[in-house]
Amino acid sequence: MSTADFRSAQAVAADVREGRTTARAEIEAALARARDDRFNAYTAVFAERALAQAEAIDADLAVGRPVGPLAGAPFAVKNLFDVEGATTIAGSRIRRDAPRAARDATAVQRLTAAGAVLVGALNMDEFAYGFVTENAHDGPTRNPHDPARIAGGSSGGSAAAVSGGLVPLTLGSDTNGSIRIPASLCGVFGLKPTLGRLSRQGAFPFVESLDHVGPFARSVADLALAYDLMQGPDPLDPLCRRPAEPVAPRLQAPHLQEGADAPLRVGVLGGWFAQGAFPQVLEALEIVADALQARRGVELPGAELARAAAFCLTPIEAAHLHWPDLKVRPLDYDPAVRDRLLAGALAPDAVAEVARRYRPVFRDAVRAVFEDFDVLLAPASVCPAPGIGQATMEMGGQQVSVRKNLGAYTQPISYVGLPVVAAPVNRPGKLPIGVQIIAPAWREDLALAAALRLERAGVVAAHRPPEPAQ
């Protein structure tokens, strides 16, 4: 089996630029890890494309031409991102005979332009509808920290690939928590940016009003750089109009008032965000709160209603997208996904209208809370990773569905599109647990600055999974 590599993307690129290795050698090693993937993270490997790009980078370096900041660093993407010449399956059976993509998704284009080398596509819940990545067609993705446990979802392959040392950087999507939950359960960093910050062009849609794309990484620096490289308006995504506002340079200049060491007003969310949480989740949250000197608890009025509204909108908006296929090919869907989509198709229009109408009310409540705080802390998941196939768990003294409740603390935040960094709390020898660092709209810099401060203090860190038994 190929040896895992836990270097950062920027460290790999530096090794390539400074001649300690070549882009081809790095990509050959990443491709070998992809083929030996014991976590079932990959669903496709793009060897020919990856090697051609690596050779082009090496050729540029040989004659002194400039290369991008991630030159030679391998990355992989959730299999709902378009990759030129490949079929975008979005975790499904029904799309396996769809036409091949004519171009890369915008996010893939922008990372590739920075020199990062795409090596493959990654497992996910079918059509991103789930929190577990127990895919009915491609099998479950396994958590690198315990292969009997889930990686989370729906971007489970993206989190597991970074956690297991297959690649240093991946892309995922987050509708109701699909970056934050697998980042938490796999012990890596994830970023869900503000709705509309990064282009969704070429990412297969799920719920139009809730869909985000974002990166996973093993360090805050990599997370911030990848985020910066993907920023900027995209005429092909009507929501993505905001000019780029780079964060990484400010994080690297802590003497500036807006840098990583600037004072932060930090609140800890209680109420809905503490109900039913496992004890170790609350302990992890307390560790982070203490490190950031968060002295005040606060509640988001209406968070439970916001979660309910997102829960209603998800199947209704998704059913509208899938209705043509549901009518003629229902048996090609994962039954669990199909049944929820059918329920959404049957829901009265009035349900969706009420769910949408509450959004400005909750947004105003959130805005009022942020008048007193720069960032808010909350758990990223209600528990550590459950077992593969586990149907229920205990919350608040009751047995509840794993699939329906892993996103209890992430859905209210998605509902109003706020930026969040999921940061893995440093708990050596224990299953990973992450926290949400939530910032006001368009202030990803605040969430990343808080995460970097915690990382420098050793309070949060990407977990290295145990070595496999020989």
- Quick check: is 199 catalytic? no
Strands (E), 58-205: 74-78, 117-122, 134-135, 139-140, 142-143, 146-150, 169-174, 189-192
Contact between 150 and 133 under an 8 Å Cβ cutoff? The reply is: yes
Q: Which of 92, 154, 163, 381 is catalytic?
A: 154
Whole-number Å distance between alpha carbons of 451 and 419: 13
Strand order in the sheet with 74-78: 42-45, 117-122, 74-78, 169-174, 212-217, 189-192, 420-424, 434-438, 375-379, 266-269, 296-298
Residue 178: active-site member: yes
Q: Which residues contact 314 (CB under 8 A, 6 or more apart)?
A: 129, 175, 176, 206, 207, 210, 344
Helix (H) or strand (E) holding 379: strand 375-379
The one catalytic residue among 8, 173, 178, 414: 178
SS3 labels along 210-271: CCEEEEEECCHHHHHHHHHHHCCCCCCCCCCCCCCCCCHHHHCCCCCCCCCCCCCCEEEECH
384 neighbors 432 (Cβ within 8 angstroms): yes
Q: Is residue 401 among the annotated active site residues? A: no
> Rounded to whole angstroms, what are the CA distances from 454 to 298, 426, 439, 451, 458?
21, 10, 15, 5, 6
Which candidate in 78, 158, 192, 381 is catalytic? 78
Active-site residues, by number, are 78, 154, 178
